[in-house]
Structure 1
């Protein structure tokens, strides 16, 4: 046999010998050896052993995240059920509340006179933030809790198809949400400053209770009532966390976060989303169901005069006194 043919044969036998040896070993011995090797590797990683990669990020040499692993189950055991509870739990509570209490009707009925409240720009900014916010809540729910709560019912194929659409929707809707959050924060903060009468508003639950000692109460409220102010500053604060953490997750090549920062961003993003989701449900129910005539404000920018007197009397008195009260013309 020529040396040309012998050399590849010898190399093949040399490669096969270790495999043949492992095959002949006791399975328990093989498992023990593998476990020992894994332990050695893990110890090296914990001691800061670096790897090699072609990446140019500041953390390219870190082969694995050695951060406390308890941060990962937080998403599955706390955030996922928390998001489900924030959405469906709050919806259930409000449905029950409306069935028991009823809605807040205009005691003097509709006046037929529409008072200017929001500019067209304000209405546009509201929907710029509101529509993406709703889509982000729904898609975020699927991304965070879908595998645990929806996939078992829908099936793997159907759930995979839904998720294929949910992920890009969530990513694309993040941009208008960020812009809407920023514009709302800058433009509306001046009308959200707490006032002394806001505490009285909370004491009678805004006058929305239709039974007991709360019935018929009409607490003072400025341009924004106490509940709206609480929602606004909650949106500003936790919206900032969502925007910041979302930017880190959405643009990893720009921010180049460490693995630890990425995990913390996921937890902060999810926890803030739960709070925003719960408050959003309250806000939506109060505007569309609980307050008769309330939804018109964010459709046309005008509100019925009796609605303004009943729910925002301080603001109505102010614009009437300073001459800025403006009614909607029939041609508008």
Structure 2
């Protein structure tokens, strides 16, 4: 009769077998590690590297360990000739950091503070990290884009309000049918040459400066997707459109930059005569150009036109200088100069574009008869007497009559008395 094996006895035999196997493995591991320990012991006894103890770590943490060889790299020991400040304690003995004597935050902090070394880029001038780029980016995004947009929108709002309140400035006595030469052909060519290039440069510059914030961020992300609930893929489409516009604007801006310099120089020389300030300009200011009542006399150019001319001269000079500097970056290897040039160039552009908007409005649809001077080179006599009476008297030898001006009859009577 067959016997059934005892299950409990079988389990005990298995446990005994496993104990023997584990015991054998432990003996083999101990036998293999003993020679290595014996081999390292003589080195330690002979004055080799001593194992780091808890006391050593605490001593280094308290800055009391002497003779340590862990130092900041030589390139980071000084920043612009000044030593890098070390923690309190023994001079030259840094505190224990996460990676030894100097931790990663210490190294990066020294780099961001302007540590000097020998970088691979020749434009860095020995500075390992160019941290002003972040400041430049913040100024451009948070101040230039915001307040530059406010200036342009504010000027547009002023023009609209002026049109609604004041309306078109008409010739009070109506057109006489008689004209006076005002600008020669060379004057008009110089004016329209600069105006056409300025419009091209202004539009391309605005796309470079405001293209992505308006097209992608405002129109795409905030308006179409955020408020109208359109598919987010429209943002990718607008990014592609902005890339095409930006590339074309940048190429055109760089191409016509030197042309703008030439047009600016011709305009400065051709229009300089008669644009120096005179005593009559102070009286023109006090009367607000005639808007505050009474007639505001002026010569060939009034105070507003002279101010616009000198803005074009001075700000335009800065625009030409910074533009050429950015167009030919090899003129300087100091990166901070290029960063400053981009900001100054953009600020000057915003100011000129804003004032040019007002100049274009008054010189075209805002004032009757004004555009004739730059289209035909002639103006109506009544327009000349009303806006440039002193120049009218110099050219014709006749006395300008202001009887049609508000308050002009009283002023003329007082002058006769």
> TM-score range with shorter-chain normalisation?
0.7 to 0.9
State whether structure 2 residue 216 is matched by structure 1 residue 133.
no
Larger-gyration structure (1/2): 2
- TM superposition shift of 1:307: 1.3
Distance 1:156 1:111, change over 3 A: same
Greater mean alpha carbon deviation, residues 69-78 or residues 264-273: 69-78
The number of residues matched between the two structures is: 280
| Number of the residue aligned with 2:379 | 303
> Which residue number in structure 1 is paired with residue 240 of structure 2?
157
Partner of 1:8: none
- Residues 139 and 167, structure 1, Cα contact 8 Å, conserved in 2: yes
Q: 2:286 aligns with which of 198, 203, 222?
A: 203
Comparing 288-297 with 169-178, greater Cα deviation is found at 169-178
Cα deviation digits, residues 73-115 of structure 1 (max 9, x gap): 1111111123322323211211111111112111111122222
1:123 aligned residue = 188
SS in 2 for 1:150: helix
Change in 2 beyond 3 A, CA 1:295/1:256: same
With over 3 angstroms needed to count, the CA separation of the structure-2 counterparts of 1:63 and 1:305, relative to structure 1, is farther
**Matched residue, 1:40:** 107
User: TM-score, length-normalised on structure 2?
Assistant: 0.62
In structure 2, the partner of 1:83 is 148
Contact kept, 8 Å, 1:71 with 1:263, in 2: the verdict is yes
Deviations 1:12-48 (A, max 9, x none): xxxxxxxxxxxxxxxxxxxx87x95475256357221
Counterpart in the other structure of 2:364: 288
Does the 8 A contact of 1:248 with 1:257 survive in 2?
A: no
Q: Which runs of 5+ in 1 are unaligned?
A: 1-31, 323-332
Q: Conserved in 1, the CA contact under 8 Å of 2:125 and 2:334?
A: no
Q: Return the alpha-carbon distance in structure 2 between the equivalents of residues 238 and 312 of structure 1.
A: 26
CA–CA separation in structure 1 for the residues paired with 2:103 and 2:263? 54
The aligned residue for residue 11 of structure 1 is: none
- Relative to structure 1, the CA distance from residue 201 to residue 157 in structure 2 (aligned partners, 3 Å threshold; closer, same or farther) is same
In structure 2, runs of 5+ residues without a counterpart are: 1-97, 221-237, 399-417
Report the 3-state secondary structure (helix = DSSP H, G, I; strand = E; otherwise coil) of the residue aligned with 2:365. helix
Structure 1 contact 87–278 (Cα < 8 Å) conserved: yes
**Conserved in 1, the CA contact under 8 Å of 2:184 and 2:377?**
yes
Identify the residue that residue 178 of structure 1 maps to in structure 2. 261
Deviations 1:193-252 (A, max 9, x none): 111111221222212x4xxx52xx321111110100111111111111111111111111
- Report the counterpart of residue 233 of structure 1 in structure 2: 310
User: Which one has the bigger helix percentage?
Assistant: 1
Identify the residue that residue 119 of structure 2 maps to in structure 1: 51
With normalisation by structure 1, the TM-score equals 0.77
Cα offset, 1:263, TM superposition: 0.6
Structure 1 residue 61, shift from structure 2 partner: 5.5
Counterpart contact for 1:83–1:141, Cα < 8 Å: no
Aligned to 1:252: 329
Find the aligned partners of 1:66 and 1:297 in 2 and give their Cα distance: 52
- Evaluate the alpha carbon distance shift between residue 226 and residue 150 of structure 1 in structure 2; reply closer, same or farther with a 3 A threshold: same
State the secondary structure of the residue aligned to 1:51: coil
Match of 2:396 among 309, 316, 320: 320
